[in-house]
Structure 1
Amino acid sequence: MDFTLTAYKNLLSALISAGYSFQTFEQFLQHHVEGKTVVLRHDVDLLLFNSLRTAQIEYNLGVKGSYYFRSAPESWNENVIKEIANLSHEVGYHYENLTTCKGDVAKAYIDFKNNLGNLRKLVDVKTICMHGSPRSPYDSKDIWKEYSYRDLGIIGEPYLDTDFSKIFYLTDTGRRWDGYKASVRDKIENFQEEWNKKGLTFHTTKELITAISAGKMPDKIMITIHPQRWNNFGAKWIKELVLQNLKNIIKKLIVNKNL
C-alpha cells in the first residue's frame, strides 16, 4: 500500500541505508557537500498536522528538511510552525501572491512582504518556494521579473536557484512519482526528458525504494513532499486517493489546453 506513513518512513530509511545525507534548502545553498545528498522539501498546502507527523518521523531518523507554509488558514498554524522549527527543520514561505492578488504584481509584492513579515515573527526565514496554484492563470514566480526577493534577505527559491543539471528532482505531486505528466507547474521541463532516458522515472514509492537500494539513483537529489498525501490507511487515505485522482484529470486537461 502506497503513500502511507510507513511507506514514507521506508523511503527515508532506504536513502539513509544507501548512504545519503540530508540538507535543508538553506544548507544546500550555503554549503557544498560531497557525496550523496538529498535536499528534502515539503510544501504544506493542506492538512498541516500531517506536516507535523512527517517532521517528527524525520527528526526521529536524524533527518532535516525544509517546510514551506502558505499564508492560507489550511496551512497556517503558529504552534505547528514553531514546533517544526524546534525539530531542527527549516521553515520558509510558500507564496502564491500573484494568484491571490489576481495578477497585480505591485499588490502581490506588498502582500508577499506582509506575509513574510508575519512568518518571520515566528521563525527565521531565509528561503521561499512558489505554490503552484494549478487552476490559476498566474505564476507567482513572475513577481521576481519586477522585484528581487534578495532585497528582503531571502537567499533562494528552489525553482529559480537550483542547477538541475547537477541535481535530480523528484516530487510526489499528483500522489505519484511521475506526476509531472499532469502537473501544471511542479516540474522541471528542461531536464525531465533527459532523466526519462536514463530510466529515472518512477510511479510508486516501492519502485523508487528499489532503485535507491540498487544504487541506481544520482548522488544529488531534491525531493518535494506534500505531507497531506501521506496518511495511515483509513478514511483520510481513501479520501486523498479519490480526490487526487480527480485533480490529476483536471490538471491534465489544463496541461493539454496549454500545449
Structure 2
Amino acid sequence: MEFTINAYVQLLELLKSKGYEFCFYNEINEKNKTVILRHDVDFTLDKAVEMAVVESQIGVKSTYFVLLSTNFYNVFSKQSFEKLIQIANLGHEIGLHFDETRYDIHTLDELKRYVEKEAEILSKLLDTKVNVISMHRPSKFTLNNDIQFEQFINSYSSKFFKDMKYVSDSRMNWRENPIEIIESGQYEKLHILTHPFWYSTKNETMEAKLKDFIKQSIADRYDFINSNFTAFDQVIRREEIIG
C-alpha cells in the first residue's frame, strides 16, 4: 500500500464496502463488525488536519492522539489549538498520546498519576473530557502489561491490542498488509494505526518526506520569528534562509 492520501481513501472505501462500522474506542461493542481508526500525531498537526478533512468528506470518524510533551508542536499555541478544534469539529475524537520518557517513572502508580495529570490538562484545554490514551513509543512494560485506568481507555490494553486484529504503519512500514487483512474476511474487529505524517499527495520515499518536513520547519520558524520581531525581514531576508 502506498503512503498517499489516495491510497488511504481506497483503504477506507474498502472497509466501508466490507461492511465495517467506524467507531470510537468506547463504541466497539455497539456493532458486530467494527473498525477503530487510530492516528498518532508525532510530528505535525497539519498532516492530521489534512487526514481529518479527507475522512470527514467520506463519512468516516477516527481518533487522533496528540502529545503534550513534544518539541515539534505546542497544543497550547493559538494555531495548534485551532487545528485541534477543527479536527474535533469534523466529528473526530482527540485522545492523549503519552510519552513515558518525559517522566522518571518507576511504578505503575507513577505512570497512572502522570497519565491522569496530562489527560486533565488536555481535557481543560479542549473543554471536553479526554477518554482514551495511547502510549508514544511504548515500553516493554506497557506492552507486556494489560494496564487499566479508572477514567480512561488504554489503546494498548489487551482488548484493543490483542483481542482485536491490530495493524500499524509504524516507521512507514505495514508489518502486515492491511488490504489483505480486510479482504480476508477473517476479522470482525479491526484496530488500525496510522501516522498522518507519512501520507502525502504523491508517492514519496521516507527520506523525501523527512527532508520536506525539515525544510518546511525552517520556513515555519522564519515566519514565526518574522511575526514576532519588528522589521525582521530587514535583518534577515526570507530568501537567505529558504532559498
Do the structures match in fold with TM over 0.5?
yes
Match for residue 33 of structure 1? 31
Q: TM-score when scaled to structure 2?
A: 0.71
User: Match for residue 136 of structure 2?
Assistant: 131
Mapped contact 2:35–2:189 kept (Cα < 8 A): yes
Hey, what does 1:24 align to over in structure 2? 24
The CA deviation string for residues 137-190 of structure 1, in whole angstroms up to 9 with x for no partner, is 775679997xx631xx22x10111515564211111121211xxxxxxxxxxxx
Secondary structure in 1 matching 2:159: coil
Contact 2:164 2:190 (8 Å CA) reproduced: yes
Structure 2 distance, partners of 1:238, 1:80, is 26
Work out the number of aligned pairs and report it. Answer: 203
Equivalent residue of 1:88, what SS? coil
How much identity, in percent, do the aligned residues show? 28
* CA offsets 1:21-67 (integer angstroms, 9 cap, x no match): 10111222xx4312x21111111111211011111111111111111
Looking at structure 1, the residues matched to 203 and 104 of structure 2 have their Cα atoms a distance apart, in angstroms, of 37
Structure 1, unmatched stretches of 5+, are: 179-200, 203-207, 244-259
**Which structure's CA Rg is the greater one?**
2
Matches within 5 A, 1:1-259: 2-28=2-28, 31-34=29-32, 36-71=33-68, 72-75=70-73, 76=75, 77-96=80-99, 98-105=100-107, 109-121=112-124, 122=126, 123-132=128-137, 139=141, 149-150=149-150, 153-154=151-152, 156-162=153-159, 166-178=163-175, 201-202=176-177, 208-209=178-179, 212=182, 214-233=183-202, 238-240=207-209
Q: TM-score, normalised by structure 1?
A: 0.67
Which structure 1 residue ranges, 4+ long, deviate > 6 Å from structure 2? 141-145, 234-237
Runs (5+) with no aligned partner, structure 2 = 213-243
C-alpha distance 177-217 of structure 1, shift in aligned 2 (>3 A): farther
Seen in structure 2, the aligned counterparts of structure 1 residues 144 and 74 have a Cα distance that, compared at 3 Å, is farther
**Structure 2 CA distance for partners of 1:100 and 1:138, relative to 1, 3 Å:** farther
- The separation in 2 between residues aligned to 1:15 and 1:240, in whole angstroms, is 27
Distance 2:157 2:53 in 1: 29
CA RMSD between the two structures:
3.1
User: Whole-Å Cα distance in 2 between the matches of residues 99 and 138 of structure 1?
Assistant: 13
Moved more, 156-165 or 43-52: 156-165
Deviation at 1:69, TM superposition (A): 0.7
